[in-house]
């Protein structure tokens, strides 16, 4: 028998889908997870009622949500967008793709906004992961023992300008800046691949910084920037000195583990308000 009012979690990769589900259960909600094959991790879904679906099998996904009595859904966890050739939509998926229209070929924000709209038209209310898991939202200020120096602060300011320029054209959420030079920008490859590329472009002298921001005008119900221990390890391997991220708009996968990893690697973690940072020349 379907449970009325369940929260449906459309789960991509990483641990956050499980944390969102656990937080919802702790608040008295019934949850049902739909894991996207090839992205969601079985061990993360295992403690909860769940099912599996291909990205292109929209009909199957919607049927699972409806059978579980879901009225609200949350999209959480990274999913790399496949080409239409590999998407292999089912009949319902093809119908929904037709409704999404040209947004299917646009940047991630355009596509995600269209998906949120279509889910609403199908009778679901879309929630943001940050609404369910408030403690995962990154705070303002320093986390951990290490702090940026003047050069790192200047690099962060440059990174804010670059990341906002990227975001306005719906390209990516982050960049790497070293000594005023933009080493790499994030596009379809994702943060870890960008960091690996940046490591091979590093210059002699003080290491660079990673800047991760919400795109200007982004719908915060989908694809908020996320950082975790893996981000810190990749940043350290690339020779960076720290990570600056948008306070109140970035999800932290596991704050205690993140800080421990950064402290051990000698990296700073800094939550910023981008507009204040640029206006005042430093953290608020």
Q: pLDDT value at position 102?
A: 58
Q: pLDDT value at position 182?
A: 96
pLDDT bracket for residue 14 (50, 70, 90) = confident
pLDDT bracket for residue 276 (50, 70, 90) = confident
Q: pLDDT value at position 143?
A: 94
**What does the radius of gyration of the chain's CA atoms come to, in whole angstroms?**
19
The answer to whether the Cα torsion of 258, 260, 265, 271 is positive or negative is positive
Q: pLDDT value at position 220?
A: 79
Residue 143: both structure tokens together? 């986390």
Classify residue 202 by burial, with Cβ atoms within 10 Å: 0-12, 13-18, 19+. middle
| Through-space distance between the first and last CA atoms of the chain, rounded to whole angstroms | 51
Checking if the pLDDT of 172 tops 90, the result is: no
Q: Decide if domain 137-280 falls under CATH 3.40.140.80.
A: yes
**pLDDT tens track for 216-245:** 877 777 778 889 899 999 999 999 999 999
pTM recorded for the entire structure: 0.82
* Enclosing H/E stretch for 196: helix 191-199
| CA 116 from centre of chain | 16
3-state secondary structure of 169: coil
Pairwise pLDDT comparison (89 vs 130), residue with the higher score? 130
Pairing outcome for strands 181-185 and 174-178: antiparallel
Q: pLDDT value at position 114?
A: 65
Q: Where are the domains positioned within the chain?
A: 6-132, 137-280
pLDDT bracket for residue 195 (50, 70, 90) = very high
Lowest mean pLDDT among 27-31, 124-128, 218-222: 218-222
Checking if the pLDDT of 202 tops 80, the result is: yes
CATH class of 6-132: alpha beta
Q: How many angstroms separate the CA atoms of 137 and 156, rounded? A: 20
In total, the chain counts a number of residues equal to: 284
- Asked if 170 and 114 touch (Cβ cutoff 8 Å), the reply is no
For range 12-20, the mean pLDDT: 90
How many contiguous H segments (helices) and E segments (strands) does the chain have?
Answer: 12, 13
Q: pLDDT value at position 3?
A: 41
| CA 132 from centre of chain | 15
Checking if the pLDDT of 279 tops 80, the result is: no
**pLDDT tens track for 69-107:** 999 999 988 776 655 556 676 677 677 666 665 555 555
The chain-wide mean pLDDT, for the chain, equals: 86
3-state secondary structure of 143: strand
Q: pLDDT value at position 215?
A: 85
Q: Could you tell me the maximum CA-CA distance found in the chain, to the nearest angstrom?
A: 63
Pairwise pLDDT comparison (68 vs 115), residue with the higher score? 68
For range 248-259, the mean pLDDT: 89
Q: Which of 53-57, 178-182, 249-253 has the highest mean pLDDT?
A: 178-182
């Amino acid at each position: 028998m379907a449970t009325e009012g369940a929260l449906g979690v459309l789960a991509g990769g990483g641990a956050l889908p499980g944390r969102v589900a656990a937080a919802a259960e702790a608040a008295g909600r019934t949850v049902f997870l739909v894991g996207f094959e090839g992205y969601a991790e079985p061990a993360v879904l295992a403690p909860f009622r769940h099912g599996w679906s291909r990205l292109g099998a929209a009909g199957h996904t919607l049927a699972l949500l409806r059978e579980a009595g879901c009225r609200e859904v949350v999209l959480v966890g990274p999913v790399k967008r496949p080409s239409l050739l590999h998407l292999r939509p089912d009949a319902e998926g093809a119908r929904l793709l037709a409704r999404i229209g040209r947004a299917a070929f646009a940047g991630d924000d355009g596509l995600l906004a269209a998906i949120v709209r279509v889910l609403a038209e199908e009778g679901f209310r879309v929630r943001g992961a940050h609404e369910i898991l408030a403690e995962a939202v990154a705070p303002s200020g320093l986390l951990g023992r290490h702090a940026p120096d003047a050069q790192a602060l200047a690099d962060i300011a440059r990174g804010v300008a670059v990341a906002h320029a990227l975001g306005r054209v719906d390209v990516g959420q982050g960049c790497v800046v070293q000594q005023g030079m933009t080493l790499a920008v994030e596009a379809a490859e994702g943060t870890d691949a960008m960091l690996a590329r940046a490591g091979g472009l590093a210059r002699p002298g003080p290491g660079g910084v990673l800047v991760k921001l919400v795109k200007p005008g982004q719908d915060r119900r989908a694809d908020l920037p996320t950082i975790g221990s893996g981000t810190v390890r990749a940043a350290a391997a690339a020779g960076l000195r720290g990570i600056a991220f948008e306070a109140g708009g970035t999800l932290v996968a596991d704050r205690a583990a993140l800080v421990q990893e950064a402290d051990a690697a000698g990296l700073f973690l800094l939550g910023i308000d981008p507009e204040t940072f640029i206006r005042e020349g430093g953290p608020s």
